[in-house]
Amino acid sequence: MRRLLITAPFSSHLVDKIRAVSPELTIEQRTLPNGRWPDDWTTEAEIYYALSAVPPLTQAPNLHWVQTHYAGVDSLENTELWQSNILITTASGVHAPNMAQYAMTQILAWAHRVPNWFHYKQTQSWTKNRWETFVPQELRGKTLGILGYGSIGRELARLAKPFGMQILVTKRNVRTLQDSGYSEPGSGDPAGELPDRIYPSEATRSMVAECDFVVITLPLTARTHHLFNEEMFKAMRPTAFLVNVGRGGVIKEADLVRALKKGWLAGAGLDVYEEEPLPERSPLWEMDNVIMTPHVSGFTPRYDERATDIFAENLRRYLAGEPLLNQVSRAEGY
């Protein structure tokens, strides 16, 4: 029998979906107290579906593979697990439909000047300068730059293309266009056919200089930390709008505030921040050219359902000796 430990609070019907993958499985489901792995817990599991904490390897001597409940793995980098050769896979793709829709909502909200709608509703009067206040940008013919062409970026490209936008993307490996990760059937851009141009990550500055809208979907790694700093903002168009649904640390926030005040770019739509929750002292709260939300772009009522779909497919592949989806590269940090 193959032992599987699950610490996510999946309902019985989702556990049954996992169990149906193979009669070889023995499944144990536990709840982590306070999200931490207790000192007195051990497991004989070969496979671990991790909600949050991972065990010291002495307390999990048979562990071969860890599937995380989330897409990001930056929290694992200082663990024994990260230093080992144990397989790690993620739930990358679980958020893609909602996060791509969120990014598109930010783009549309900025283009159609939606903050002005709510401002004048609150004043209970309309401005006399309706054209200057409400005339929108037309998205047709505008250029959208997507940083990171994974599941979120590919779904965003699919949504943006019918608006007539030109799609530019950055990709770590520009020679491999095929998507090797998980995506919802009928979504995304599996073959990498939608971008008008694809840039290597090293050419990010050149790409953003051509864009009317820029969307960050990148993970936080040593390579991406503070990628967007004063130098990058100065390269952008002064009319550009920046959206971040990746990780807050990709942007050097003090430089962003300065860039927005100096007009190096026109505005920003932020769902993630260097410090979360965003401190009351942050100047971002008072800026009219910033549309903000509290790290909610990935929220979906179908999270657990999609997460177990990803895991069930990976479990089938693991037992069959096939390559797994969303396998983490320690060298790349995701």
CB 199 within 8 A of CB 170: yes
SS3 at position 48: strand
pLDDT of residue 74: 84
- Rounded to whole angstroms, what are the CA distances from 36 to 54, 70, 84? 8, 16, 20
Count Cβ atoms below 10 Å from residue 258 Cβ, excluding itself: 14
Residue 118's contacts (CB-CB under 8 Å, 6 or more residues apart) are: none
Question: Does residue 333 lie in a domain region?
Answer: no
Evaluate the CA torsion angle 141, 145, 150, 156 in order and state its sign.
negative
CB 265 within 8 A of CB 233: yes
Q: Given 2, 30, 295, 330, which residue is catalytic?
A: 295
Question: Does residue 183 lie in a domain region?
Answer: yes
On whether both 131 and 110 belong to a single domain, the answer is yes
Place of tokens 């920003």: 268
Question: Does residue 332 lie in a domain region?
Answer: no
On whether both 82 and 100 belong to a single domain, the answer is no
How far apart CA 270 and CA 106 sit, in angstroms, is 9
Q: Given 138, 231, 275, 276, which residue is catalytic?
A: 276
Residue 71's contacts (CB-CB under 8 Å, 6 or more residues apart) are: 90, 91, 92, 93, 94, 95, 219, 298
CB 224 within 8 A of CB 201: no
On whether both 60 and 140 belong to a single domain, the answer is no
On whether both 122 and 9 belong to a single domain, the answer is no
pLDDT of residue 181: 87
Question: Does residue 185 lie in a domain region?
Answer: yes
SS3 at position 325: coil
On whether both 205 and 73 belong to a single domain, the answer is no
CB 112 within 8 A of CB 105: no
237 belongs to the catalytic site: no
The strands making up 241-244's β-sheet, listed across from edge to edge, are 197-200, 166-171, 143-147, 213-216, 241-244, 267-270, 290-292
Read off φ and ψ for residue 16, nearest 5 degrees: -65, -35
Tokens of 108: 């549309």
pLDDT of residue 184: 85
pLDDT of residue 313: 97
On whether both 20 and 84 belong to a single domain, the answer is yes
Question: Does residue 327 lie in a domain region?
Answer: no
CATH number of the domain where residue 12 is located: 3.40.50.720
Name the residue range of residue 71's domain: 2-94+301-320
On whether both 155 and 15 belong to a single domain, the answer is no
276 belongs to the catalytic site: yes
pLDDT tens digits in sequence order for the chain, 334 residues long:
999 999 999 999 999 999 999 999 999 999 999 989 999 999 999 999 999 899 999 999 999 999 999 998 988 988 999 999 999 999 999 999 999 999 999 999 999 999 999 999 999 999 999 999 999 999 999 999 999 999 999 999 999 999 999 999 999 889 899 998 888 889 999 999 999 999 999 999 999 999 999 999 999 999 999 999 999 999 999 999 999 999 999 999 999 999 999 999 999 999 999 999 999 999 999 999 999 999 999 999 999 999 999 999 999 999 999 999 999 999 988 9
SS3 at position 154: helix
pLDDT of residue 79: 94
Number of domains in the chain: 2
25-29 vs 47-50, strand pairing mode:
unpaired
Which amino acid appears at position 234 of this protein? Answer: K
On whether both 170 and 247 belong to a single domain, the answer is yes
247 belongs to the catalytic site: yes
pLDDT of residue 58: 97
pLDDT of residue 135: 98
How far apart CA 228 and CA 108 sit, in angstroms, is 23
On whether both 316 and 169 belong to a single domain, the answer is no
Question: Does residue 197 lie in a domain region?
Answer: yes
On whether both 28 and 174 belong to a single domain, the answer is no
On whether both 182 and 284 belong to a single domain, the answer is yes
pLDDT of residue 241: 99
CB 248 within 8 A of CB 272: yes
Question: Does residue 334 lie in a domain region?
Answer: no
Q: Given 247, 253, 274, 306, which residue is catalytic?
A: 247
pLDDT of residue 185: 86
On whether both 75 and 217 belong to a single domain, the answer is no
Question: Does residue 40 lie in a domain region?
Answer: yes
